[in-house]
Amino acid sequence: MGVHQVKLTINGKTVVEGVESRTLLSDFIRDGCGLTGTHVGCEHGVCGSCTVIVDGAAVRSCLMFAVQADGLEIETVEGLSQNGELGPLQKNFKECHGLQCGFCTPGILMSATDYLSKHPEPTTRELKEMLSGHLCRCTGYDGILKAIQKTVEENKETIS
């Protein structure tokens, strides 16, 4: 039951820590690394608020043990801003009323970031399907969808 030494990368920074095997990745990120942007809602994989990107895939951090993340690369919401400025997706969430209380937001931002990197031109249906893995009790999802779609449009413009 001892403590395991883990070495992982969070938002580009290397972290070396001792963790108990039962420590959830979500708790490690928040309490061990002080990155409280990652939220914890249900702790059984239903709400999506704890979603982070692990080795290039959006996953629930409450369904992984920190010890399992040894050697892996983690991205959290703190990694989305650039030099203290909101990233493009974050800006659009702000502009399109994509959040109200903000509890669900970090998870959705990470899911959307991962999804857009793999599907640069998603249909509305695909985006809704992706969002179905997240519970938002405030917005009704409409603003969230708009914010993501606005980002898709902007990305297209920068490419062309």
Report d(CA 26, CA 62) in Å as an integer.
Answer: 5
Minimum distance between the CB of residue 106 and ligand FES, rounded to whole angstroms? 10
Q: Which is nearer to ligand FES, 31 or 121 (CB)?
A: 31
User: Does the footprint of other proteins cover residue 115 (CB under 8 A)?
Assistant: yes
Q: How many CB atoms lie within 10 A of CB 48?
A: 24
Q: Taking contact as CB under 8 A, which single stretch among the options 41-49, 94-102, 141-149, 150-158 is the one that binds other proteins?
A: 41-49
DSSP secondary structure string, 63-121?
A: GSBGGGGTT-EEE-GGGTSBTTBPPHHHHHHHHTT--SS-SSHHHHHHHHHHHHHH-SS
Report d(CA 141, CA 116) in Å as an integer.
Answer: 17
Q: Taking contact as CB under 8 A, which single stretch among the options 37-45, 76-84, 89-97, 139-147 is the one that binds other proteins?
A: 37-45
Q: Are 147 and 93 in contact (CB under 8 A)?
A: yes
Q: x/- contact string, 60-99, with other proteins (CB under 8 A)?
A: x-xxxx-xx-x-----------------------------
Q: Are 95 and 130 in contact (CB under 8 A)?
A: no
Q: How many CA atoms lie within 13 A of 90 on its CB side?
A: 15
Q: Which is nearer to ligand FES, 15 or 138 (CB)?
A: 138
87 binds, among other proteins, ligand FES, none (CB under 5 to 8 A by kind): none
Q: Which is nearer to ligand FES, 6 or 62 (CB)?
A: 62
Single out the residue of 14, 16, 34, 44 in contact with other proteins (rule: CB under 8 A). 44
Structure-block tokens of residue 131: 């969002």
The site for other proteins (CB under 8 A) is made up of: 1, 4, 20-22, 24, 27, 43-45, 48, 51, 54, 57-60, 62-65, 67-68, 70, 111, 115, 129-130, 132-133
